[in-house]
Structure 1
C-alpha cells in the first residue's frame, strides 16, 4: 500500500506545478486567530493532554491538530471521535516527526507525508489539506514536493515556546499578549510536551476574547 501511494505521489509531483508558499498567518485583517496544536509521536507512545483537549472541547473552541501518523494510530479512537466535531480539523504532521526533514530528498518527504496521510484518512474519513514540517525544518524541494500534492504548508509567525520547561504559564500568557496580531496562527503542543500549556491556555483564550478576537479553523480562511 505504501509503495503504491508513493508512486501516486511521485506522479502527482511530476504533473502539478508547486506554489512554494509557506503560510504563517491567515490572509485576513479580521481579529481572528487560529489555534493549532502539534501532536507528534516519534518513538515512545504518547497521548492527548486532556487538560488542553477537554477545555477546548467543553468550550467548543475551533482548533486544528497537526498529528503525526504514529500519533494517529496510537490514539485512533480519540482522533476518530475528534474528527466528527465540526470545530476540529486533523491535519498532517509527517509519519514519525523527523526533525531533519530539511535534509530529506523529495522522495523521502513524500513517504513521510503519504504514510501520515493514509493514517489520517483511515481514522477520520477525510482528506487532510494542511501540512506542518516537524520543528519547522524544510528545504525548498521538500516544500514544493508537499505543495505539489495539493497541501498547504502552515507554520507560524511566532512560536509559543511551550515545550520549554522554563516557560511558565505566566510567561506563555504574557508572550501571547505581546505578540498576537489579527490573522495569527498560534502553535502549541497537545501531546504532553507543552508543560504549562493546559494551565496557560484558558487565560490566553479569555485574554484574546476580551481583546475582541475570535477563534477559527485554518480551513475557514485558507
Structure 2
C-alpha cells in the first residue's frame, strides 16, 4: 500500500516538476539614461474589449506604449485598433499570438489556459499572430509575447529561430488585470529606471485599469520617460542564455501561416 501511495504521489507531482523547468523571461532596458527614469510600457490585448480608461489617457497625455495584440482582439476591436494605428508616434503594435495560447509544450495548462502542447502548435500560434498584425497594420511585428508570458525552453528556442525577440518584462503591474486599482497604481508608480512594465488593456470591466491609468500618470508627473521597445536596447534573461536586442528588424514571414493551433 505504501508503494502504491508513493507511485501516486510521484505522478501527482510530475506536472509541477515539468512546469518548474519553464521560464518567465525578464526583459530590461540596457543602460538607461542615468539622468531620467526611463521605462518601457507594454500592454497586452489578449481578447475581450478595449480599456479606454487606459487607451484614451495614453493618447491625451501623449504617452508611448508597445501593445501586444492577438488576432482575436484585432477581429473584435476595430475601433481600438484604429486608435492605435492613428497614432504611430505613440504605439508600437506587436504580436501576442493567433489565439492567446501559452508557448508551453511540457504541461497541458498554465494558469487555466490550454497550452500549445507541441512545437508545431507554437509555430502556428506565432506565425498566425504575426500574419494578423501585418495584415492589420501593414508592418511586420518584431516582438512576440505569448499568453501568460511563460515558455517552455524548447518554445523559446523555436520562437527565436523564427526571428522574433521574446518580450519578457521586469515589472508585473496588474497580475493579469486581477489586482485592485490602488495596488496597481502603487506598483506602476514605483517602477525603476530600466523596467519593462507589463499590464493589460483589454479588461475595461476590472478595477485594475483604473489603477493602471493612475500609475502611468504618476510616473509621467514624476518626470519618467516612456520608450517603445523598438527604440531601446534591451536585455533578455531567459535561462541558459542572455539575449541583447538592439532595435531588432522585423523577421520575414512565411508566405502562408501554418495550420492554426486548436484552443479547445
Q: TM-score range by the shorter chain?
A: 0.7 to 0.9
Q: CA deviation at 1:199?
A: 1.9
Q: Structure 1 residues 80-89 or 90-99, which shifts more?
A: 80-89
Q: Structure 1 residues 200-209 or 126-135, which shifts more?
A: 200-209
Tell me which residue corresponds to 1:83: 85
Tell me which residue corresponds to 2:224: 213
The residue matched to 2:63 in structure 1 has which SS? coil
Contact 1:33 1:216 in 2 (8 A): yes
Separation in 2, partners of 1:66, 1:49 = 14
Larger relative contact order (Cα-Cα within 8 Å, sequence gap ≥ 6) = 1
Contact 1:73 1:119 in 2 (8 A): no
Gaps of 5+ in 2: 1-24, 107-116, 234-264
* Greater percentage in strand: 2
Distance 1:209 1:133, change over 3 A: same
Q: CA deviation at 1:75?
A: 2.0
* TM, length-normalised to structure 1: 0.79
Residues 1:154 and 2:160 are matched in the alignment: no
Tell me which residue corresponds to 2:63: 61
Contact 2:174 2:208 in 1 (8 A): no
Contact 1:64 1:218 in 2 (8 A): yes
CA RMSD of aligned residues (A): 2.4
- What is the aligned length? 197
Distance 1:114 1:32, change over 3 A: same
Alignment of 1:32-181 (within 5 A): 32-41=38-47, 46-85=48-87, 86-99=89-102, 101-103=104-106, 104-163=117-176, 165=178, 167-178=179-190, 180-181=191-192
Gaps of 5+ in 1: 1-21
